[in-house]
Chain A
């Protein structure tokens, strides 16, 4: 199978390294090599760079893409924000000759040139299309039967559909299918496709608004009986994990719903050590979910 240029970004590697660890181990098992993109930077953050100055946003993103172009590999990233920035930049520069020229003039200052000959792909889409549900299901050693999961797609994984086209953005199934390959159940909940609240620079500029979104989502997930949240974006992950403590501080509302990035979640199902997944340092304890998995293990004898 194809190898990828592995784009890290910021929040995953600099806050939740268990996501990175799980991904590296998992893809090795699936026979896919994740190659480091040496010297890559922030994607850059779409909420700030995209909002402040489009040319800066495109240029830094294009620089990151040129690293993968030099490697001759498609990019894989597991952050919706990074995916949005890199995909959109790649898309725009491929379709807008003037923008490409402008960006290349800037990149020439550092001896780089954007060519547009690689693809930008999202980790979850690679799992679904390249690895496939069968191989994922076959790799599950600790089935998560009986665990109710609230899947959170986030925004920039699927949207804008006109450009990305991975799945139907109003009613997608791709993540639910991956989650259910572990034996867990994906529960439907109200406003499932709504944003976590962190995007567009809203978290840093107006935390109250961001947390109002998050509380909305958590309330709906709780009402649906979710045991845990599974996301595919470290920023959404942070918003749900840290956000729950912030909501508690601000309003006194406690949810205590464990949060897993899909890489961590699959890691659990594949029998990885929870400590290697760094789920023990999450703000919201994941014990309740792990205990339930433990219980299931006892019943099924761990198989």
Chain B
């Protein structure tokens, strides 16, 4: 089966600085791929490339059958974007809309559903999936960080996208809420059968939910494998990243 998204030799530069350099990445159908790496290594840029929000300076991206290259025009990407669900780092919920209206948004604009009763039913169904039935009429500013992430996940899935892209879904959350979000992603992936790319620097999260793990370093994929291979790996980048995460925890612990 063709992968949902395939990057080949993709490079992107900002202000003359190469952020992504010759990157190759494939997202197999129905799998959760976790893209890890330290801050500033180009993870979010890679996610924006995978979602078609950014175009590559070099190379090509096949996204749901549509080829995106440096010359691709913005209006050529409209239809393929409607098949995506994107959860941004801060949720990116629309402040001026209630939770219910936020979740209804893709139904109206990606699927063209106008019937209020159908929309209301689908919104409620989605809110039940993320266990937030009571917040439909609240506004994003009235929600906690974890609730906003769950609403963002609900909004990204309500129109049944083929590919879900999550940017740091557990960042800024306490460990309990973070694991709850992880479980939600795994459960929903099993139920809806979508393919997912999760960008994260949370190793615990990646090992818990990822079918495939990718480690980025300075704009390139430095390592790829499955969670079991990660734990056994002698790759210097893997060790360095894993140890870096541990040492930060120890320093914090000693200070306490």
A and B part of one assembly: no
